Structures are given as C-alpha cells and as structure tokens.
C-alpha cells in the first residue's frame, strides 16, 4: 500500500535511513537488530529491511529460535519479491516450503510464493502452493471462535448473515486511491502515482509516488465500474441515462455565470468555491494550498466544513525536517477556509520530529481527535490515540489501550456520528493483511468488544480506511484486493441486521374516506448509495412492505388531481417484531373562486354617480397580461335564491353592471372564446341595509399569453426550487386550480453568458423543477409542458460578445408561463 495504507509498492527501494519525504512510522526506539528489521519491514522500508534481515541470518551467533528464523526468512523473501529481485525471493521460498507444512501463521508465504510462480509462468507449481495456502487458511478459520461475526442484537428466527453489495468506483485508476473522507456532499481522498524507480531521496519532493488530496464534489453522482454482489458474483453496472444525466459533453469546461445565484451552503449544503475546483462531478485536486510536493492525507473535517486536520510530511512549506535517523516523519496540521482558500496552516502541539502522528479522525462535535502514532510507549508498531479539545487547546494524547491497540499496527481510525470507532489492524485475527474492525465508544473510551466486519468488506488482502453512517447502512472503504492496487469501494448493506419490519400502508381520499388506486408511492431510505423505489396502489389503496430495521424512510404519495402528501416512518425505535400500519390521506385541491364582499366600492370618477335605489355590482373585465379592457366578454349573474340569470356583453371599455336583490347570494362569471372563464361569488346583501355598490373586476387569461413568474432564483449551478420561491409558485397553483381546463408551457431562460449548450440544459432542468412543484400540489402533469430555451430568446440586444450591464443581463434571466389552451 501507499505509505499511509501499507500498500506494497513493487520495485521500489524505500529506505528509512535515506528517504526524505516518505511518510512512515519509523522510530529509533528499538531494542534489538531483529526488532529494527521487523519495524522497517512493517513500514515498507524494504531496502533497509533486506539489509538487516540478511545481516541477522548471516550472523552465526544470532540466537534465533525456529519460529523467529522462519519468520525472518519469510519476511526477507517477501521483501526481495516486492523490490523485484525475484530469483533471490524464489530461493528463499523454496527453502521455506521444503518442510512438510508451514505453521498456520506462515500461510501467507504459500500465497506469496504462488503469486511469484504464476508471474514466471509456472502455473502448475503455483496451483500446488495455492492449495497448501487454502488448506492452512481453512484450518485457521475453523479453529477460531467467531464472536466478530455475531451481530450485537439478533432477531429470533433470523440467522441470515448480513449482506453487502460492493461497488468498484469509476474514479479508481492505475494509481493508488485510498482513505476517503466525507466532505459536504462529496468525498476527499488520497491518491498517488506509482513510480518505476526508487522514490527521490534528494529531499526536493515531487516524485512520482508522492500523494495528494483529490476531491469529488457530489459523491451520489459517482459511477461504479464494477458491481460485486453479496453472493460474490461480479457484473458490470447498467448505466441508465436519465434526464439528469443528459448534459452536454463540454459541461466540465463551462464556467459559472450570472445565470446562477451564488449561495454558500452549510455543512450539509453545497460546496463553497474552492480553489482548483470546477462545477462538475469529476475528480479535482482538493486544494493547491494544502497539496504540496510531499505527501498529504488522510484528512478529517470539523462539522462546519470550514476547518480541516490533515496529515503531511514534516514540511512547513519552506523546508523539511528530519528525525535523528534522517527520516521525514508524519505530522498533523490544521487549516481554515477563508474565501474559498485554505489558510492558517499550523502544526498540532503533539507533533514531533522524532516520531509520526497521522490519520486524523474527529468526533462529530469536534471535541475528540483520534489518530495513529508510533510515539514511544505504545503497545505495537502503530497505536491509536485520542486528544481532547479543552478551551480551544488539544490535550496530551492518551493511548486507547489494549482494548483497541495490539502488538501489530492499528491505524486509519474513523468515528461515526454516534461515536462508534472503525479502524484497521493487522494485529488481530482476520481474513488477511489489514482488516477493518469496529468498537463502540463512550466519550472516547471503549465500552464494548471489538468486532470484525463481515466479508466482503474484509478480504484476504488489505482493507482499511472505512467511513460510514451510524447504522452502517453504507459507506466507502479502501482495499488492494484488485491487482494489489489501492482502490476505493462503495458498500451498501442489502439486508437487515435484525430482520425486517412488516408495514401496511393505506392511501385514501380525505373527503370521501375511500381508498385511492393508481397512487405512485415513492419510498426513500436513508443511507449511502440507496436507490429510491416506487410502487403503485391497486383498488384497495394498500401497499405491503417489509422495511429494514434501524432505518428511516420517507413515503411520498402522488396522483394527478390530488395534493401530494409526504409522510416519514422510522424503524429505529421499534423493539418488537409486530407488523405496523400507516394511513396516508390525500386531499383534492380546493377550487379557487374569488369572493365579492358586501362593502362599498372605492370612488371612481369614470363611473356615473347616481343615487342608488338598490345595491349593485360593477366592474371591468381586463386582460391578465396587460390589464387592458376586453370587449365582447359575456358576464353572467346567477342568483342562488331562484337560479335566475342575467347577462351583459362588455363594450370597448370592458365594463359591466348588475343590480342585486337583498338576501341572496350570487355567482358572477365572465366568458369569451379563447379566454379562460373567470368566476366570483357575491355574498348576500343584508335586508333593509343602505344600498351599496360592489366592485368586482375580472382578469382573464388568453391563449398565447406569456406571463412572468417573478422571484424565482436558484443556487449556483442548481435547479432545485428554493423556499423563497414557494410564495410566487403558490400563485400559479391557485391560477391553475381556478382554470381547470388551462394547459401551459413553463419556460425558463438564461442570459447569453456561459456555454450555450449548458445554458439550455440548465434552463430545461429549472423548468422541470417548476412543473414538479406544481404537480406536487395536485396539478395534472398533462396540463403542463416544461421547456428550457437557454439564451435563444433574449429580450434585448445583450447577445454573445455584447458589453451589457448586469441589469441588462438580468432582464433576460426569467421564468415564464405561456397559455397553450383554455376552455
């Protein structure tokens, strides 16, 4: 693995005595030559390990017992293999395997020898070595107790093991990618290139194997190049392109324009404008101010997303510092984000030139910092420590103790939102190499047994750097199981830890109490990599589900003609195994009708002033678009008392007038071909009251009218409707409810700045968002069409290359509704 991940770099001479810039956990505190050799080997300093192991084996006075000599030969053979001296490695493996059978703790020698034989084309001999390896591993597994595979809580009758689906992410390359960490909606991870020769030793950095931090802005957009199902079968994912995926090929190159509103999100919101990042879903360098010519990573972030703790070589940006052994160790640094740039890079107080600290992990409240170190006084090669933030200062680190640490290497900690610790170790019983383990913590102190995570998360190779949620629904981890290279996998738990929860949902009409068929029920489950599911109700309005335990769900019920209803449901607090029932009521949208109240109309000199003998209603019929009077509108007054109707036809001034009888309610309507019928209610005039004039002006929509939707803004490069737009959209909900036969085109426009294809795509998505919102309020999708025009319909001269003010460009950025048809 890489220096952080212990990946075995082939054909690299990594000597701790000579190397400047190698991130390792070398230290001077060794009691014997063998301990020094083992330390160099565990830290992947193979050149130095070969020198020391060879010296020990050549020294006839060296007092090695049989087990020590065998282990020394095995480590020496493996070191030769990794640096490319295959003939020397083969000679040692032949000597080792000449015995009848190696002990169980040397099973890896069979596997390593088998790999070497396969590389040189001797497949039959390689197969025999693999058979010996598999035989030893099977014995070791059968001999072990398996407390690690036992769930903390078991549902009676449920013995099916937890199943995970693995996804090999498309961001992986021939380089090493490892140690992912959540950052806002994305992932920050470590990556570096393999070099064909030794890493530079001149101390100038920048070698081919130096590691940097990379960043993916939206982890939900990460594609999988390969799927590994729970049963172990491997397949290629089916990449379905939906509307959201139909971006122009040059989207990556498009720059942000004034068509986007710059809104800096919170910790769970959008990414702030980081240096080196473009607004795309591709992998980008994380930060120029943090990435240097030496190693960086892994990292951790505070909850606010504006503070970081990261690992780097002992390099302050100007010069490199070394230990007494001439080694550049690891240190932890902090930085803060200001105006999109990481600044104020400072060392943590417990750093040292003489030993390494790295692999930081913060608790959710930022008060506990866990990390790995080989500082003096530990239990093994590298131990895990915790430091507390007291009054803004980090306290002296405390070793997590033998409950967590082993005689081997314990590293790559991660703490989920519940305070549970995940870490990697090669000092515990596992499947091979580094394995991922789990331990519950309380205020940074272990309170339960260490558990080994199930296969396929752990494998016979190195598995480490796992990050996940508090219920382990899904997450990411690093592994070198594919071709020996470090890759990042996503995992999704596909089965419940404790069975499932039977749930029956009933969806009915709030008014009639009758079940509703053909309701689309969208089911969203919380967790990384979870896919939304949709089911449709039948005549009985029922849906039967079996829900995963310890998870949260959101049900969204929608059907044309009904207002969408959203209901949450959680199985986290349920302790019994009884089925549950949930009912969701849907409401039909209220028909909107204006009401004319019995109140005096405002004075208007354009109307003839006469002494009233009876109450009356009067008004003007105008266009909704330009408020001009409409001629030829039929205005009808219908009495609720006897059903009698009267009607008038408006003239060029659009006026109408009726007398009203006391004690009756009326319905007033205005109709004309190619216009939408408008209706209002008149509340009854009290008996023996003073005659009054009521005012009821009508605004009518006409086919072809294009009306603006004001105050619709979006976040940068986004099309999600923001809460501040709801009020304006609710006006259109009311309009569409008032005109039930109205069909419209929702049109979105941008200005001319930026890439034209990107502008068309962005405007189309924004128009779709408006349609989706209106549909959620019960407006049938059959009545709406979404159209994105980009910069094709400018309202002024501000085309490409024309120098215009922001105000002039703003005039072109708009959302409109065009009336297509109406009855």
Q: What is the pLDDT of residue 437?
A: 96
Distance, in Å, from the CA atom of 297 to the CA atom of 192, rounded to the nearest integer, reads: 11
Q: What is the pLDDT of residue 131?
A: 73
Q: Which of 353-357, 605-609, 621-625 has the lowest mean pLDDT?
A: 605-609
pLDDT mean over 540-549: 82
pLDDT band at 197 (very low <50, low <70, confident <90, very high): very low
pLDDT mean over 369-390: 94
What is the pTM assigned to this prediction?
Answer: 0.45
Identify the residue with better confidence: 160 or 489.
489
Name the residue among 348, 14, 330 with its Cα closest to residue 190: 330
Name the residue among 541, 561, 543 with its Cα closest to residue 553: 543
Q: Which of 77-91, 92-106, 270-284 has the lowest mean pLDDT?
A: 270-284
pLDDT band at 188 (very low <50, low <70, confident <90, very high): very high
DSSP 64-107: --HHHHHHHHHHHHHHHHHTT-HHHHHHHHHHHHTSS---GGGH
Neighbours of 722 (CB within 10 A): 15
pLDDT band at 209 (very low <50, low <70, confident <90, very high): low
Give CA separation, 214 vs 179, 280, 530, 541, in Å: 11, 14, 24, 49
pLDDT band at 406 (very low <50, low <70, confident <90, very high): very high
Phi and psi at residue 529, to the nearest 5°: 75, 5
Q: What is the pLDDT of residue 373?
A: 94
Q: What is the pLDDT of residue 138?
A: 62
pLDDT band at 11 (very low <50, low <70, confident <90, very high): very low
Name every residue whose Cβ is closer than 8 Å to that of residue 81 and which is 6 or more positions away in sequence. 89, 112, 115, 116
Q: What is the pLDDT of residue 607?
A: 52
Q: What is the pLDDT of residue 360?
A: 97
Q: Which of 30-39, 93-102, 677-686 has the lowest mean pLDDT?
A: 30-39
Task: Answer whether residue 194 shows pLDDT above 90.
Answer: no
Neighbours of 264 (CB within 10 A): 12
CA 633-639-645 angle, 5° bins? 45
Q: What is the pLDDT of residue 618?
A: 87
Q: Which of 82-86, 90-94, 457-461, 797-801 has the lowest mean pLDDT?
A: 82-86
pLDDT mean over 708-736: 78
Say which CATH superfamily domain 594-700 falls into: Immunoglobulins (2.60.40.10)
Residues 40-45: contacts with CB within 8 Å, 24+ apart?
Answer: 40/16, 41/75, 41/78, 41/79, 42/6, 42/381, 42/408, 42/409, 43/16, 43/381, 44/1, 44/3, 44/6, 44/7, 44/8, 44/9, 44/14, 45/14, 45/15, 45/16, 45/19
Beta bridge partners of 708: 816
Same fold, 33-148 and 706-821: no
Q: What is the pLDDT of residue 40?
A: 76
Task: Answer whether residue 274 shows pLDDT above 60.
Answer: no
Q: List, for residues 315-358, the tens digit of each pLDDT value.
A: 766 777 887 777 778 899 999 999 889 999 999 999 999 899 99
Q: List, for residues 664-694, the tens digit of each pLDDT value.
A: 888 888 888 888 888 888 887 777 777 777 8
How far from the centroid of its chain's Cα atoms is residue 79's Cα?
Answer: 40
Share of the chain above pLDDT 70, in %: 78
Domain 166-238+265-493 bears CATH identifier 2.120.10.30: yes
Task: Answer whether residue 433 shows pLDDT above 60.
Answer: yes
Name every residue whose Cβ is closer than 8 Å to that of residue 31 and which is 6 or more positions away in sequence. none
Q: Which of 154-168, 304-318, 407-421, 743-757 has the lowest mean pLDDT?
A: 154-168
pLDDT band at 309 (very low <50, low <70, confident <90, very high): very high
CA 12-16-21 angle, 5° bins? 80
Q: Quickly tell me which residue has 């610790």 as its tokens.
A: 421
Give CA separation, 11 vs 83, 85, 198, 694, in Å: 4, 8, 8, 94
Distance, in Å, from the CA atom of 244 to the CA atom of 172, rounded to the nearest integer, reads: 23
User: Does an H or E element contain 344, and which?
Assistant: strand 341-347
Task: Answer whether residue 471 shows pLDDT above 70.
Answer: yes
Q: Are 382 and 375 in contact (CB under 8 A)?
A: no
Give CA separation, 532 vs 185, 527, 554, in Å: 18, 11, 10
Q: What is the pLDDT of residue 32?
A: 64
Q: Are 188 and 180 in contact (CB under 8 A)?
A: yes
Q: List, for residues 497-510, the tens digit of each pLDDT value.
A: 545 677 888 999 88
Distance, in Å, from the CA atom of 322 to the CA atom of 803, rounded to the nearest integer, reads: 57
Share of the chain above pLDDT 90, in %: 23
Strand order in the sheet with 784-790: 706-708, 814-821, 743-749, 784-790
Each domain of the chain, given as residue ranges in start order, spans 33-148, 166-238+265-493, 500-586, 594-700, 706-821
Q: Which two tokens stand for residue 609?
A: 């002033």
Q: What is the dihedral of CA 495, 499, 501, 502, to 10 degrees?
A: 100
Q: What is the pLDDT of residue 325?
A: 72
pLDDT band at 386 (very low <50, low <70, confident <90, very high): very high
Task: Answer whether residue 2 shows pLDDT above 50.
Answer: no
CATH hierarchy code of domain 500-586: 2.60.40.1120
Beta bridge partners of 533: 523
Neighbours of 549 (CB within 10 A): 19
Neighbours of 386 (CB within 10 A): 23
Q: What is the pLDDT of residue 462?
A: 92
Q: What is the pLDDT of residue 627?
A: 86
Q: What is the pLDDT of residue 497?
A: 53
Average pLDDT, the chain: 77
Q: List, for residues 122-136, the tens digit of each pLDDT value.
A: 766 777 777 777 777
Task: Answer whether residue 155 shows pLDDT above 50.
Answer: no
Q: Which two tokens stand for residue 299?
A: 């990292």
Q: Which two tokens stand for residue 696?
A: 């009821």
Name the residue among 290, 267, 301 with its Cα closest to residue 344: 290
Domain 33-148 bears CATH identifier 1.20.140.10: no
Dump strand ranges (E) for 542-630.
542-548, 552-558, 565-570, 580-586, 594-596, 616-623
Distance, in Å, from the CA atom of 794 to the CA atom of 303, rounded to the nearest integer, reads: 43
Q: Are 497 and 549 in contact (CB under 8 A)?
A: yes
Name the residue among 643, 687, 695 with its Cα closest to residue 667: 643
Task: Answer whether residue 4 shows pLDDT above 60.
Answer: no
Q: Which two tokens stand for residue 770?
A: 């408006």
Radius of gyration of the CA atoms of the chain, in A: 36
Domain 706-821 bears CATH identifier 3.40.50.720: no
Neighbours of 620 (CB within 10 A): 21
């Amino acid at each position: 693995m890489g220096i952080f991940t212990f990946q075995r770099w082939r054909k690299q001479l990594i000597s701790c005595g000579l190397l400047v810039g190698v991130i390792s956990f070398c230290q001077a505190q060794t009691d014997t030559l063998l301990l020094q050799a083992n330390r160099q080997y565990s830290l992947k300093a193979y050149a130095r390990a070969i020198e020391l192991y060879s010296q020990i084996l050549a020294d006839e006075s060296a007092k090695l017992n049989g087990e020590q000599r065998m282990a020394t030969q095995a480590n020496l053979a493996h070191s030769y293999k990794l640096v490319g001296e295959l003939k020397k490695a083969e000679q040692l493996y032949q000597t080792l395997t000449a015995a009848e059978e190696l002990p169980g703790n040397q099973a890896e020698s069979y596997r390593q020898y088998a790999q070497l034989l396969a590389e040189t084309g001797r497949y039959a001999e390689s197969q025999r070595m693999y058979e010996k390896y598999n035989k030893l591993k099977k014995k070791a597994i059968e001999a072990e107790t398996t407390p690690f595979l036992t769930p903390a809580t078991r549902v009676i009758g449920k013995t099916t093991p937890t199943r995970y689906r693995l996804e090999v992410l498309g961001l992986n390359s021939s380089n090493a990618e490892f140690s992912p960490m959540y950052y806002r909606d994305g992932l920050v991870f470590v990556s570096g290139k393999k070099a064909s020769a030794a890493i530079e030793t001149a101390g100038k950095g920048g070698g081919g194997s130096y590691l940097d931090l990379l960043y993916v802005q939206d982890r939900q957009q990460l594609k999988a190049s390969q799927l590994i199902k729970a049963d172990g079968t491997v397949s290629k994912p089916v990449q379905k392109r939906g509307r959201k995926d139909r971006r122009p090929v040059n989207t990556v190159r498009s720059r942000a324009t004034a068509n986007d509103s710059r809104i800096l999100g919170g910790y769970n919101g959008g990414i702030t404008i980081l240096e080196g990042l473009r607004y795309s879903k591709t992998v980008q360098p994380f930060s120029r101010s943090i990435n240097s010519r030496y190693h960086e990573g892994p990292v951790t972030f505070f909850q606010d997303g504006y503070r970081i703790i990261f690992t780097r070589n002992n390099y302050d940006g100007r010069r490199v510092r070394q230990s007494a052994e001439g080694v550049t160790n690891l240190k932890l640094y902090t930085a803060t984000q200001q105006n999109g740039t990481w600044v104020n890079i400072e060392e943590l107080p417990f750093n040292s030139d003489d030993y390494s600290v790295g692999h930081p992990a913060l608790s959710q409240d930022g008060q506990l910092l866990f990390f790995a170190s080989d500082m003096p006084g530990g239990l093994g090669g590298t131990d895990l420590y915790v430091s507390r933030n007291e009054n803004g200062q980090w306290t002296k680190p405390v070793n997590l103790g033998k409950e967590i640490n082993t005689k081997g290497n314990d590293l790559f900690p991660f703490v989920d939102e519940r305070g549970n610790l995940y870490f990697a170790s090669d000092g515990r019983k596992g499947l091979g190499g580094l394995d991922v383990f789990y331990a519950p913590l309380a205020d940074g102190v272990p309170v339960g047994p260490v558990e080994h995570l199930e296969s396929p998360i752990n494998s016979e190779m190195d598995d480490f750097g796992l990050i996940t949620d508090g219920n382990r629904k899904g997450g990411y981890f690093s592994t070198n199981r594919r071709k020996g290279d470090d890759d990042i996998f996503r995992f999704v738990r596909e089965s419940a830890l404790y069975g499932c929860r039977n749930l029956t949902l009933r969806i009915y009409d709030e008014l009639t109490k009758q079940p509703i068929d053909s309701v689309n029920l969208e089911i969203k489950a919380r967790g990384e990599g979870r896919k939304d599911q949709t089911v449709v109700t039948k005549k009985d309005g029922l849906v039967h589900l079996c829900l995963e335990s310890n998870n949260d769900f959101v049900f969204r019920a929608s059907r044309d003609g009904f207002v969408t209803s959203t209901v949450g449901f959680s199985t986290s607090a349920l302790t019994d195994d009884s089925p549950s029932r949930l009912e969701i009521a849907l409401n039909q949208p209220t028909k909107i009708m204006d009401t004319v109240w019995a109140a005096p109309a405002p004075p208007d000199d354009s109307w003839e002033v006469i002494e009233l003998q009876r109450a009356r209603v009067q008004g003007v019929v105008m266009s909704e678009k330009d408020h001009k009077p409409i001629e030829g509108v039929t205005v009808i007054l219908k009495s609720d008392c006897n059903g009698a109707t009267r009607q008038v036809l408006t003239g060029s001034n659009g006026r109408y007038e009726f007398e009203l009888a006391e004690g009756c309610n009326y319905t007033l309507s205005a109709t004309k071909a190619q216009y939408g019928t408008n209706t209002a209610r008149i509340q009854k005039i009290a008996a023996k009251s003073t005659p009054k004039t009521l005012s009821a002006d009508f605004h009518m929509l006409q086919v072809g009218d294009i009306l603006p939707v004001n105050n619709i803004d979006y976040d940068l490069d986004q099309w999600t409707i923001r809460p501040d737009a709801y009020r304006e959209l609710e006006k259109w909900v009311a309009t569409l409810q008032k005109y039930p036969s109205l069909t419209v085109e929702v049109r979105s426009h941008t200005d001319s700045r930026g890439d034209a294809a990107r502008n068309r795509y962005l405007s189309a998505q924004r128009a779709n968002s408006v349609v989706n919102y209106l549909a959620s309020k019960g407006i049938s999708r059959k009545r709406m069409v979404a159209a994105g025009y980009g910069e094709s319909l400018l309202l002024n001269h501000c085309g490409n290359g024309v120098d215009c003010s922001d105000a002039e460009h703003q005039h072109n950025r708009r959302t409109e509704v065009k009336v297509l048809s109406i009855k």
